[in-house]
Structure 1
């Protein structure tokens, strides 16, 4: 019996090395953002939040504009040099950060860093199913996501301790060391990480735009993925409320310090970590839609009474919200892998990465407006908006729970003609039509093959084309 657990995916040597490289670079990211916060305060003083907000906006913009292109490139070329180049590029840029002396230089370097991030993340996400196989990729995705959450919680604390001993600007050199170490690990991987491209997918670079459109079209024409993507819009509205307005509530309304604010945000991170671990240990292959819906309900309802509670209940509510957001994001990653052929996953992951970050481009301004216009009820109104949108999405876009798809494949099978089963055959098929039983190839399409869980028979109707 196959043992289910986060560590099972590490038995794949290529993924194991990729995972170690990702963990090292994620720790580098923690150093980057803590160092940027300290650097922004050094250069801008009380205007540091504006500087960080601008950097965050640049980050989301780069992801939205470039991730679809990154996904198309990941489907066309060997992914190993892409992963190496993105690490080396970030290494060079973070090593320039200790020398900045103005805010515009921070913006320029952050934009460059996140251009490389926009190419790295979809490529890495699409590579996980490629190197682990169908049986283990849900655990592999969960392990990567759990590591991301854990380092998001504890990484800044470790970076803060380092900053006390070596200084804020010197953090960036350690950051650069982490990126080059990860690049070396990926370089030593055996073979290549290129998907098999055949037939109509061997296209010229001039058709890249059509491939970008194909990635987005696949997101919006597949009912379960479309449903999950719109639930992520709901989650971004609630998540932006947490990221933007928690500090004002904790320090302004509750009159607590930055230390207590850190506790609250750590609760959010720990909840997210628990969510990724739960999905990784108990993958529910046929209930991802229910899981995504449950995550949307959790994160939006957690905000409902947050304006009227103290510090400890707020930590609990934010833990619930983090759990909900995490199971949405993780279920979406595995849902895309489930419903997308391997040779198309790069462009679909790239399109998804862009769209999911595009939601935040609207969610952040909404959260800022609610926080300044209704400072005493910002979480309440954000929750009501999210619940209203969640209801609309669920009523209008909920897919048929009895239908699922398989990757496209072709096989030969035998079947009988009877009074209820008739279809045409092309004339070049050598079939003895005097016999009711014969063989022919049958192609299962990714989007057209569906069946009920209660019906175990394989039914054919209409015309088959051979």
Structure 2
């Protein structure tokens, strides 16, 4: 008997639509990376030593927008063609960024940030929810998640280096031009890709659609653990995003280009993680990988507090920022896999929007601390509070995310009639209920998580 070999596995990169969407993500991210550096320098140009407070306020506005707009986007994402929506949002973002170099007052920065981030709050979760539909195979999706994190990492690593090179010959105002080009390039690539229409949600009523993602998040134990890890990332992440400019300029006394290099060190740590993640996730569960990342985040945050009590060290700062980047990559890269297996296909847009909204609610807590408390009380006290948020989130994740976390759970229904199609393989419990086992997610039929009595450890 002749043994037939299975056909060779089709490469993820052979998918033309995915390549175009990945390209769109890449160019938009590099544009955004230039804006991150330029916005910090714009704040320093307008406010001097109070740049941290200005940047903290701008980022707090960004977080409020993300928290409030993302659920609205998730509620309507299956009602409009996603390709048209993504292109329109890219155009809005490009239009706003082109105006940023011309601002002369701090309030103008705040207004433009509000409009810009409203568009981003609708764009990002919609884009994230497209990938599971475009890539139904879990291995392909895992590779896509790794590639997405790699794109974010490469942006963190290379766009600051690009910014440093440009700053040596140009004013930082010109960096905003790169962002505009990135958003327009993203719009063109999205327009050229075929994006599947979202599966319509069976949920009726605006409130039910708005609240469904958050309800699933707060009811699913592993997602509660993800939320706690979001707090850990936000705590130390705010230290990096908000305080790098003032630490490099005011404590270390180094030039603008070194702001970009220190942010690049943070990206270098994440780069190592993102490139190895597909192999790592084939051997280790998401919980183990993400909790390892939480440990790295806690270590980096405490090291930063210790560094703040000294006169400052450039090599030590580079090492600490790299450790923080490594922890961030370990936590954030597997999140999409966890979300995917925690919701039905029709609920994915709402769950991705909830993750986007709730994670940024954590940043809404940490950004003001990094901006206002550090400005008022100094690096040591402010960074100690941020480190506390990171450690608190890490410990909460260990407790909230069960060590034993199978996909299929045994559970009992008492609210479905005899013979209901969902109970085809169920057995009676003797008290009017029906017990069966399947891959479990929170939905209209399953509104609570099965208890330990139904699934003994």
| TM bracket (short chain) | 0.7 to 0.9
Larger mean Cα displacement after TM superposition, 219-228 or 26-35: 26-35
Correspondence 1:141 to 2:145: yes
> Residue 157 of structure 2 contacts residue 268 of structure 2 at CA under 8 Å; is this kept in 1?
yes
| Structure 2 residue aligned with 1:33 | 36
Q: Choose from 21, 24, 31 the match for 1:21.
A: 24
252 and 388 in structure 1: CA distance in 2 versus 1, 3 angstrom threshold: same
> Residue 299 of structure 1 contacts residue 320 of structure 1 at CA under 8 Å; is this kept in 2?
yes
Q: Deviation string for 1:120-171 (max 9, x for gaps)?
A: 1001111111111233111112111211121122213324544565654444
> Residue 408 of structure 2 contacts residue 438 of structure 2 at CA under 8 Å; is this kept in 1?
no
> Residue 156 of structure 2 contacts residue 267 of structure 2 at CA under 8 Å; is this kept in 1?
yes
3-state DSSP of counterpart to 1:65? helix
Paired residues for 1:113-124 under 5 Å: 113-124=116-127
Q: Choose from 428, 436, 441 the match for 1:446.
A: 441
Cα distance in structure 2, aligned partners of 1:57 and 1:40: 14
82 and 369 in structure 1: CA distance in 2 versus 1, 3 angstrom threshold: same
Post-superposition offset of 1:101: 3.5
- Which runs of no fewer than 5 residues in structure 1 stay unpaired? 425-440, 452-459, 462-466
Cα distance in structure 1, aligned partners of 2:223 and 2:274: 19
Q: Deviation string for 1:208-227 (max 9, x for gaps)?
A: 22111111001111111111
Q: Choose from 110, 114, 130 the match for 2:113.
A: 110
| Structure 2 residue aligned with 1:332 | 335
Cα distance in structure 1, aligned partners of 2:233 and 2:375: 17
Q: State TM-score, norm by structure 2.
A: 0.80
Post-superposition offset of 1:341: 1.8
Post-superposition offset of 1:49: 3.9
| Structure 2 residue aligned with 1:87 | 90
Paired residues for 1:183-198 under 5 Å: 183-190=187-194, 192-197=195-200
Report the RMSD for the aligned CA atoms in angstroms.
Answer: 3.7
Q: Choose from 268, 271, 292 the match for 1:270.
A: 268
Correspondence 1:176 to 2:180: yes
3-state DSSP of counterpart to 1:157? helix
Q: Deviation string for 1:351-380 (max 9, x for gaps)?
A: 110110101111123345367446446545
Correspondence 1:10 to 2:13: yes
| Structure 1 residue aligned with 2:298 | 300
Cα distance in structure 1, aligned partners of 2:184 and 2:340: 29
Q: Choose from 202, 205, 212 the match for 1:214.
A: 212
Cα distance in structure 2, aligned partners of 1:325 and 1:177: 28
Post-superposition offset of 1:229: 1.1
450 and 277 in structure 1: CA distance in 2 versus 1, 3 angstrom threshold: farther
Cα distance in structure 2, aligned partners of 1:104 and 1:242: 24
Cα distance in structure 1, aligned partners of 2:190 and 2:384: 46
| Structure 1 residue aligned with 2:320 | 317
Post-superposition offset of 1:404: 2.0
Correspondence 1:390 to 2:385: no
Cα distance in structure 1, aligned partners of 2:38 and 2:206: 37
Cα distance in structure 2, aligned partners of 1:233 and 1:258: 30
> Residue 267 of structure 1 contacts residue 315 of structure 1 at CA under 8 Å; is this kept in 2?
yes
Q: Deviation string for 1:169-226 (max 9, x for gaps)?
A: 4444443333223212222223x4212327x34x4xxx22211111100111111111
| Structure 1 residue aligned with 2:359 | 356
Post-superposition offset of 1:241: 3.1
Cα distance in structure 2, aligned partners of 1:188 and 1:249: 43
Post-superposition offset of 1:350: 0.6
Cα distance in structure 2, aligned partners of 1:442 and 1:335: 20
Q: Choose from 158, 161, 164 the match for 1:157.
A: 161
Larger mean Cα displacement after TM superposition, 373-382 or 222-231: 373-382
Post-superposition offset of 1:277: 2.0
Cα distance in structure 2, aligned partners of 1:260 and 1:147: 22
> Residue 88 of structure 1 contacts residue 179 of structure 1 at CA under 8 Å; is this kept in 2?
yes
Larger mean Cα displacement after TM superposition, 101-110 or 363-372: 363-372
> Residue 268 of structure 1 contacts residue 321 of structure 1 at CA under 8 Å; is this kept in 2?
yes
| Structure 1 residue aligned with 2:226 | 228
216 and 107 in structure 1: CA distance in 2 versus 1, 3 angstrom threshold: same
- Which runs of no fewer than 5 residues in structure 2 stay unpaired? 1-5, 308-312, 410-419, 431-435
CA radius of gyration, larger in:
1
3-state DSSP of counterpart to 1:75? coil
53 and 319 in structure 1: CA distance in 2 versus 1, 3 angstrom threshold: same
3-state DSSP of counterpart to 2:302? coil
Post-superposition offset of 1:77: 2.6
Q: Deviation string for 1:317-348 (max 9, x for gaps)?
A: 32122111121112222210122222211111
| Structure 1 residue aligned with 2:417 | none
Higher relative contact order (CA 8 A, sep 6+): 2
Post-superposition offset of 1:292: 1.6
Paired residues for 1:231-250 under 5 Å: 231-246=229-244
Cα distance in structure 1, aligned partners of 2:299 and 2:93: 38
Cα distance in structure 1, aligned partners of 2:236 and 2:230: 10
Correspondence 1:100 to 2:103: yes
Q: Deviation string for 1:7-34 (max 9, x for gaps)?
A: 9432222111111111112222233334
